[in-house]
Amino acid sequence: MARWGHTDNDYLFWTHDFHAVQEHQRQRMRQAIDQAASDAIRNGSVEEVAETFADQFRVQVPELTEGAISATVDETKVDVSRDRSLAFMYGAFGGPHYVPGISATFYVPFVGDAEMFKCKPSTWTTVIPAGEIKGNELLCRFVRPGEDVAEAKKAFDEELSRVKQYLGWLARDAEAFNQSLASAAREMVIQRRGRLEKLDQGTGGLGIPIRRATPAPQVAGARGARVGTPARRSTTRYDVALSFAGENRAYVEEVATRLKTAGVSVFYDAFEKAELWGKNLVDHLADIYQNKSRYVVMFISAHYVEKAWTKHERQHAQARALVAKDEYILPARFDDTPVPGMTSTVGHVDLRTTTAAELVNLILAKLGRSHP
């Protein structure tokens, strides 16, 4: 993203007005509440049900992983006639004039919704950050005459500072919006419950047995600012997907190994290194935890609720759970840390008193398998 000659398509934080994104998210949340299975609306307190829906539609501003920044540097030819000061320096007026130079690309990994890089915050400046989003990385490109790589790094540091400033402004806007969703969801749930109560009263007065209708297929509202993007549907690939924080890996790995030995198809990241290599993990993991697993075993701990990746997995599992007719998330607790969007009425396994072997037997029972 050289500051000379970059196009409008390079600009970040400019495509979508964030106020429009907020309204879009509210409408998607209303649609999800209106289309959810009636039992999902009736069961639990209004506050718990509302929080479950609100958590699915809170926006997640990207978080940069600055400790994993990398770069590539190559030789190239630079047209200096496009920059007035350089054209004067090289006597390059009147047409293209190419000189030896370098092309440097800096790669900044991030976790969060990539679409948020397109959103314009309420506070902004006339100097707009530029870059390219590929998968879960921000790419910053610089083309400069000469061989001074340090100058390219200096330009990148300045651009990265602008990106972080805009992300900070966007995070402030997102926090205010996210805090407002619970009350909006509460009102929508109350309205849906009211309609269901009127329907129950009407059908109860018919004086004949009422058959329970087969629910129509539902589309879970996935979190994020994507406009008009339906949740993906695919056949189940795994019997069980394991969602956990790295601090709890020792226990989870024993569970995963025992499940694999018992013939269970289990998604555990250490078993999938070749499969995950090179994939866009944001989309791939969302698909696994929302669409491609029969159950998700959620290993809950204080570490679990703090991590960005486990938050990503949890939110997509909860989106599926909202419309699932049967249980989908199987909570297993290392401690009593509250989980956003999970009601207190959901049954769990206490891992403080349950060995890995015992948990595996419970999972096998849930799958209808005999113990090894």
Instruction: Judge whether 117 and 127 are in contact, CB under 8 Å.
Output: no
H-run or E-run covering 171: helix 149-204
CA-to-CA distance for 20 and 27, rounded, in angstroms? 11
H-run or E-run covering 106: strand 98-111
CA-to-CA distance for 9 and 29, rounded, in angstroms? 30
- Hey, what amino acid is at 4? W
- The segment(s) of the chain belonging to CATH 3.40.50.10140 are 238-366
Tokens coding 317: 């599992």
Backbone angles phi, psi at 77, to 5 degrees: -110, 135
Tokens coding 203: 């059908």
CA dihedral 361, 366, 371, 372 (to 10 degrees): -90
The per-residue pLDDT for 228 is 36
CATH class of 238-366: alpha beta
CA-to-CA separations, 246 to 63, 249, 296, 304, 349, in angstroms, rounded: 19, 5, 17, 8, 19
Of 76, 62, 67, nearest in space to 152 by CA: 76
The per-residue pLDDT for 371 is 61
Polymer length of the chain: 372
Bridge-based pairing of strands 63-64 and 98-111 is antiparallel
Instruction: Judge whether 301 and 246 are in contact, CB under 8 Å.
Output: no
On the CB side of 174, CA atoms within 13 Å amount to 22
> What is the CA 278 to chain-centroid distance, rounded?
18
If one counts every other C-beta atom within 10 angstroms of the C-beta of residue 103, the result is: 17
Q: Is the whole-model pTM more than 0.85?
A: no
The per-residue pLDDT for 200 is 83
The per-residue pLDDT for 211 is 64
Residues forming a β-bridge with 16: 119
Q: What is the pLDDT tens value at each position of the chain, 372 positions in all? A: 444 434 334 889 988 889 888 999 999 999 989 988 888 888 778 988 898 889 888 888 988 888 889 999 998 887 766 666 665 566 666 667 677 888 899 999 888 788 899 999 999 999 999 999 988 889 998 888 888 899 889 999 999 999 999 999 999 999 999 999 999 999 999 999 999 998 888 877 777 766 655 444 443 443 444 433 333 344 578 999 999 999 999 999 999 999 999 999 999 999 999 999 888 888 889 889 988 999 999 999 999 998 888 988 998 888 888 777 678 999 999 999 988 878 767 889 999 999 999 999 999 999 987 665
Of 299, 284, 200, 219, nearest in space to 252 by CA: 299
The per-residue pLDDT for 44 is 76
